[in-house]
Structure 1
Amino acid sequence: MNAPPRPSLKSITHTPTGPQAAPQAVDTPAVGEPKGVAEGVPFAVRPDPRRDDGRRPVAWLHIVAPPSWSVTPSARSWCTCGYERNAIGRAAVLQLVTAHGEHRTSCPLLNPTSEGRTAA
């Protein structure tokens, strides 16, 4: 009932039993630009082209008007000051667009009025 020994296979290679050291890179002299930079690419750090100009979105108007005349349009107008309105139907959406424009002229976040300006 002993199994016969397996014949050796030609494709199996001998694996080492102990740890081996990884091959080390040869040191090159440091001359010229730092390595890792492609030729013709400046190495200096440039300023961020997307500078913050201080503007932030404050009031939004979102209108959904499907191309079919049989579908009812809808709209939503909201502002960070707390103003929020919704409309469903053509006439109501047109009124909301007008109300959104009026709110933009009277919003305290978009048109801050200080006492120094009105007193003069």
Structure 2
Amino acid sequence: MSTRPHPPLEGPTLAPAGPSSAEPAPATDGNGALKVAAEGVPSSVRPNPSFDDGRRPVAWLHINAPGRGVAPSARSWCSCGRDLFAAGQSRALALIDDHVRHRTLCPQLVSQEGKAA
């Protein structure tokens, strides 16, 4: 077993020479104001992430088509109380058609179409 010297765990940290990249650079026009963004980089204000426009999902159609040898399935759900499930290709396709038809007839969906406009 060889003994190698280890660097000290505590001690003064050497400061790097030159300006730090975390500090803003002085403006080039000579007025002394600090430059906040790099030149040529557009700044933008992001939309408020907590903004709520009042829209809520009302009807869902979930289709699961896993691949060869496994039967596809579909689930149709609506806030009016509809919750239907179908397994197998022909039944899933029939449920998809029924879900589309339900979206045109459901009183909760029909009454909300004009609210967004």
Scaled to the shorter chain, the TM-score interval is: 0.5 to 0.7
Computing the radius of gyration over CA atoms, which structure comes out larger, 1 or 2?
Answer: 1
Residue 96 and residue 32 in structure 1: after superposition, are their counterparts in 2 closer, same or farther (change >3 A)? Answer: farther
Structure 1, residues 36-87: CA drift from partner, whole Å, max 9, x if none?
32123456x5463x9977654322211122331x322211111233221101
Aligned to 2:61: 61
TM-score with structure 1 length normalisation? 0.51
What fraction of aligned residue pairs are identical, expressed as a percent? 49
Aligned to 2:74: 75
Aligned to 1:103: 102
Distance 2:73 2:111 in 1: 30
Residue 33 and residue 86 in structure 1: after superposition, are their counterparts in 2 closer, same or farther (change >3 A)? Answer: farther
Distance 2:109 2:32 in 1: 54
RMSD: 3.9
| Structure 1 residue 93: Cα displacement | 1.0
Structure 1, residues 93-115: CA drift from partner, whole Å, max 9, x if none?
122112101110112222018xx
| Number of matched pairs | 89
Structure 1 residue runs of 5 or longer lacking an equivalent are 1-10, 17-27, 114-120
Structure 2 residue runs of 5 or longer lacking an equivalent are 1-6, 13-25, 113-117
Residue 42 and residue 72 in structure 1: after superposition, are their counterparts in 2 closer, same or farther (change >3 A)? Answer: closer
Distance 1:52 1:76 in 2: 28
Distance 2:53 2:75 in 1: 27
Aligned to 2:90: 91
Residue 32 and residue 104 in structure 1: after superposition, are their counterparts in 2 closer, same or farther (change >3 A)? Answer: farther
Other structure's SS at 1:91 match: helix
